[in-house]
Chain A
């Protein structure tokens, strides 16, 4: 028998003893939640890349999406795969770890080391399960602010994230305008639409319909509702891709067979692909955590805290914004980004807005889309100049290299 831990035990291990930096906040530093209660103790698991400069002016917070985590630019400790945003974060990348100090933390309610439903509830000695209060995007951001305080950073050079990460970016900019020099909300929305909520509800119902869910107490029973969680992932995964991309990738192609089998096997490649996506997801993600993070998105409506006016959320802000959408993203469509841009304009903010043409759907923000990379680089370089950060070392050294 192999001595290597199985994926399942590896993902359990990340909840209790993550391969990350961690900071613990005790009962003296509770996290106030929108649900009305206080969360304590609180553990935040995070990763950093690059070096904080002496003025502490070069820190970038990267906010992860629904099922992402803090492993932005390093090998994932459970899956062994590269970090989820290595196209954007690293030496010489737009989020250049040679220039910037990059921080990314697992969200509250997550399952990669930050306090979530799979963490031990000190009151009972068992996993929280559904005893954890419902978490909101604002709660996630408050916790991140506690981490940033802990790191001794007053003002972040930039807060950047896509999808649910983009919601956190918007919340940061609204709640802590003086602490955010530049903000990049990508492929996101200032509120969850009815359709967004509907898709999330399908996922949650799939999990809760799995008998192994045990009303949320599956960890006590040594179970995991993998079937329900896999279906939730399959349904969600469809929303991350465009119709064209699915068509281009799979069309009606059959999976390793010449003709349909007239059964309910995965005859089509697209079925096989989705099953694989579902099955590999359950090895690394906690089912209850999926309920919490999807709920956090559903409750997100930034304008609601500002008399229903998104413009008021950003009124008088000095933060420089770069809003990015992808034209084939039907989960958080271009119109949702445009609504953010209109509010920022109305609030008098400095804003850039690009809609990137691609057929890769919502997931485009995770992929190597050259125009997106160039946009990000241009925006961050200009913001760095405005912030007085030194140019990349390669540019400084360039004249010496031009020798005839």
Chain B
């Protein structure tokens, strides 16, 4: 059993969310973490139980927030686009945004705020450069629908898709250094090859840890 699978089993995380374990593994033990868009709190729990983290969350859906708080997690109802501005500089070691960047109104501002509030930002997002998506647009001439991205264009909450290359370019633009990066295949497992073009074509998701330059 790999370390990831072991900690996954221990933490009873949904097996389809192996990306959560990858994100958790980018976080130091006993650090302070803010999870933006924490959903039902699966990552917060994983971080608290496996890495002894002081974990807080923000979640847009009231249902998710209430579930989290009833489980004893420290979560507030809020919006990544508007509520990150209220947090002071350097309040956290890590600010995490998993599978949410593409649903924000101002991804660049959100990312900048994350790097202001935290020493590190960890972002996971669906890669719009994946060959299956490219093929759907190229050959069917339709907006793509994949197992990861199931919504039709007219009802999707995902309004700001990007490719892995786009994300790397944005990181450079906002003066962020990429500390670690990994692309995941359709099963959520890391791709063996690490060339950026390979990631951009075969990665279904990108997971990156950023920090401020200088």
**A350 near B56 (CB under 8 angstroms)?**
yes
**A352 near B69 (CB under 8 angstroms)?**
yes
Q: Given contacts A342-B86, A348-B88, A371-B66, are A382 and B73 in contact (CB under 8 A)?
A: yes
Q: Can you list 12 residue pairs at the A/B interface with Cβ under 8 Å?
A: A323-B76, A342-B86, A345-B76, A350-B56, A352-B74, A353-B65, A354-B77, A355-B65, A355-B77, A357-B62, A375-B66, A385-B72
**A381 near B77 (CB under 8 angstroms)?**
no
- Which residues, 362 to 404 on A, are CB-close (under 8 Å) to B? 371, 374-375, 377-379, 381-382, 385
List of B residues within 8 angstroms of A331 by Cβ: none
List of B residues within 8 angstroms of A371 by Cβ: 66, 70
Residues of B within 8 A of A (CB): 54, 56, 62, 65-66, 68-78, 83, 86-88, 91
**Which A residue's beta carbon lies closest to that of B91?**
A348
**A375 near B70 (CB under 8 angstroms)?**
yes
**A375 near B76 (CB under 8 angstroms)?**
no
**B66 near A345 (CB under 8 angstroms)?**
no
**B56 near A379 (CB under 8 angstroms)?**
no
List of B residues within 8 angstroms of A341 by Cβ: 76, 78
**A342 near B66 (CB under 8 angstroms)?**
no
Q: Which of A342, A347, A374 contacts B70 (CB 8 A)?
A: A374
- Which residues, 309 to 367 on A, are CB-close (under 8 Å) to B? 320, 322-323, 341-342, 345-348, 350-357
Task: Give A356 to B77 CA distance when docked, in angstroms.
Answer: 11
**A342 near B83 (CB under 8 angstroms)?**
yes
List of A residues within 8 angstroms of B77 by Cβ: 353-355
Min CB–CB distance B65 → chain A (angstroms): 6
Task: Give A246 to B26 CA distance when docked, in angstroms.
Answer: 53
Residues of A within 8 A of B (CB): 320, 322-323, 341-342, 345-348, 350-357, 371, 374-375, 377-379, 381-382, 385
List of B residues within 8 angstroms of A377 by Cβ: 70
List of B residues within 8 angstroms of A348 by Cβ: 88, 91
**A322 near B87 (CB under 8 angstroms)?**
no
List of B residues within 8 angstroms of A374 by Cβ: 66, 70
Q: Which of B54, B62, B73, B91 contacts A352 (CB 8 A)?
A: B73
Q: Given contacts A320-B74, A341-B76, are A354 and B69 in contact (CB under 8 A)?
A: yes
Q: Which of A323, A351, A378 contacts B72 (CB 8 A)?
A: A378
List of B residues within 8 angstroms of A379 by Cβ: 69, 72
**Which A residue's beta carbon lies closest to that of B34?**
A345
**A345 near B70 (CB under 8 angstroms)?**
no
Task: Give A378 to B77 CA distance when docked, in angstroms.
Answer: 16
**B69 near A378 (CB under 8 angstroms)?**
yes
List of A residues within 8 angstroms of B70 by Cβ: 371, 374-375, 377-378
Min CB–CB distance B23 → chain A (angstroms): 21
Lowest 6 A-B CB distances belong to which pairs?
A: A382-B72, A378-B70, A353-B76, A342-B86, A374-B70, A352-B69
Task: Give A347 to B65 CA distance when docked, in angstroms.
Answer: 21
List of A residues within 8 angstroms of B68 by Cβ: 352
Q: Given contacts A345-B76, A351-B76, A355-B77, are A378 and B71 in contact (CB under 8 A)?
A: yes
**Which B residue's beta carbon lies closest to that of A377?**
B70
List of A residues within 8 angstroms of B65 by Cβ: 352-355
Min CB–CB distance A353 → chain B (angstroms): 4
List of A residues within 8 angstroms of B91 by Cβ: 348
List of B residues within 8 angstroms of A378 by Cβ: 69-72
**A352 near B76 (CB under 8 angstroms)?**
yes
List of B residues within 8 angstroms of A351 by Cβ: 56, 74, 76
**Which A residue's beta carbon lies closest to that of B57?**
A352
Q: Which of A323, A346, A356 contacts B66 (CB 8 A)?
A: A356
Task: Give A320 to B54 CA distance when docked, in angstroms.
Answer: 12
**A375 near B69 (CB under 8 angstroms)?**
yes
Min CB–CB distance B102 → chain A (angstroms): 24
Task: Give A355 to B91 CA distance when docked, in angstroms.
Answer: 24
Q: Which of A345, A354, A356 contacts B87 (CB 8 A)?
A: A345
Task: Give A351 to B57 CA distance when docked, in angstroms.
Answer: 9
**Which B residue's beta carbon lies closest to that of A374?**
B70
List of B residues within 8 angstroms of A347 by Cβ: 88
Min CB–CB distance B124 → chain A (angstroms): 23
Min CB–CB distance A347 → chain B (angstroms): 8
**Which A residue's beta carbon lies closest to that of B84?**
A345
**Which A residue's beta carbon lies closest to that of B55?**
A350
**A354 near B86 (CB under 8 angstroms)?**
no
Q: Given contacts A353-B77, A354-B62, A371-B66, are A346 and B88 in contact (CB under 8 A)?
A: yes
